[in-house]
Amino acid sequence: MPLLIAANWKMHKTGDETADFCTGLRALEERFAWVEILLCPPFTALASARAALKGSSIRLGAQNMHWEQKGAFTGEIAAPMLLSLEVSHVLIGHSERRQLMGETDEAVRRKVRAALQAGLTPLLCVGETEQERRRGHTAAVLRRQLTFALSELDAGTAQNLVVAYEPVWAIGTGVAASAGDADRAAKLVREVTGEILGPAAAGQLRLLYGGSVSAANIGQFVAQPSVDGALVGGASLELEPFVLLINSAREAVGL
Ligand code: PGA
């Protein structure tokens, strides 16, 4: 499977800004045949991204969704709405949603299940806080988050799953995890997924590292055989640095 480089734009970019970025990236598309690129703009920019990317192999993701298909949930967005915009992936359980928006493990569980049932690929984010890391609780936190998120899935539907290890202390801080940390976490995520969903699902799982990924450090992550790509925030917001980052990943994997 090719590497997956996913851009999480968080609460950045209007529709017009998104269209400009997508048009610029598309113009370079022939250089990206070796990699899968996923852009996750805000909901309000998905339609512009879709228009600018029509016919392109660059994929579109959303940053969140509700677990119900429709109903009285003011301010929420449902899977069928995302599908109607040709969205293929959805971030679920990003630490900013868990920490700042009060998203619980239970909500994450419902969302992962609903995304898979709808035919969207969930990009489930897991990771420990600085305090949990200092106390040596990293493995226990990852195990708890994964157990909640995956325990009610049917192993067959989970073939489409992507998990991003995103240590909270590394997000937006400029201090990325070490390649060793990412490798250890990736192996643990695969092991726990195997315990819950069986070896076939664990084997097919795509595992990303996220947290202060940049052109300067992406190579050390994607060079790990346990890591299948990266989830990139700040370094994905401007076209040139993002293209540089993609090129660095390519050099690191020798393609
Ligand atoms: P960052 O964000 O690359 O800016 O650290 C990553 C993320 O939150 O997904």
Q: What are the catalytic residues?
A: 94, 166
Residue nearest to atom 7 of ligand 1 (CA): 233
Global confidence as pTM: 0.97
Give the Cα separation of 140 and 217 in Å (integer). Answer: 27
Res 154: pLDDT? 86
Identity (one letter) of the amino acid at 143? R
Residue nearest to atom 3 of ligand 1 (CA): 233
Res 220: pLDDT? 97
What does the radius of gyration of the chain's CA atoms come to, in whole angstroms?
Answer: 17
Res 155: pLDDT? 81
Residue 232 Cβ contacting ligand 1 at under 6 Å:
yes
Q: Which atom of ligand 1 is nearest to the CA of 125?
A: 9
Distance (Å) from CA 212 to ligand 1 centroid:
6
**Which residues 6+ apart lie within 8 Å of 48 measured at CB?**
15, 16, 18, 19, 22, 41
Res 130: pLDDT? 97
Q: Which atom of ligand 1 is nearest to the CA of 213?
A: 3
Assigned token pair, 61: 């993701």
Identity (one letter) of the amino acid at 47? A
Instruction: Quote the distance between the C-alpha of residue 33 and its chain's center.
Output: 20
Residue 231 Cβ contacting ligand 1 at under 6 Å:
yes
Pocket mutation for ligand 1, best pick of 38, 97, 212, 236 (most atoms within 8 Å of C-beta): 212
The one-digit pLDDT tens for each residue of the chain (255 residues) are 899 999 999 999 999 999 999 999 999 999 999 999 999 999 999 999 999 999 999 999 999 999 999 999 999 999 999 999 999 999 999 999 999 999 999 999 999 999 999 999 999 999 999 999 999 999 999 999 999 999 889 888 878 999 999 999 999 999 999 999 999 999 999 999 999 999 999 999 999 999 999 999 999 999 999 999 999 999 999 999 999 999 999 999 998
Distance (Å) from CA 163 to ligand 1 centroid:
14
Residue 35: DSSP 8-state: E
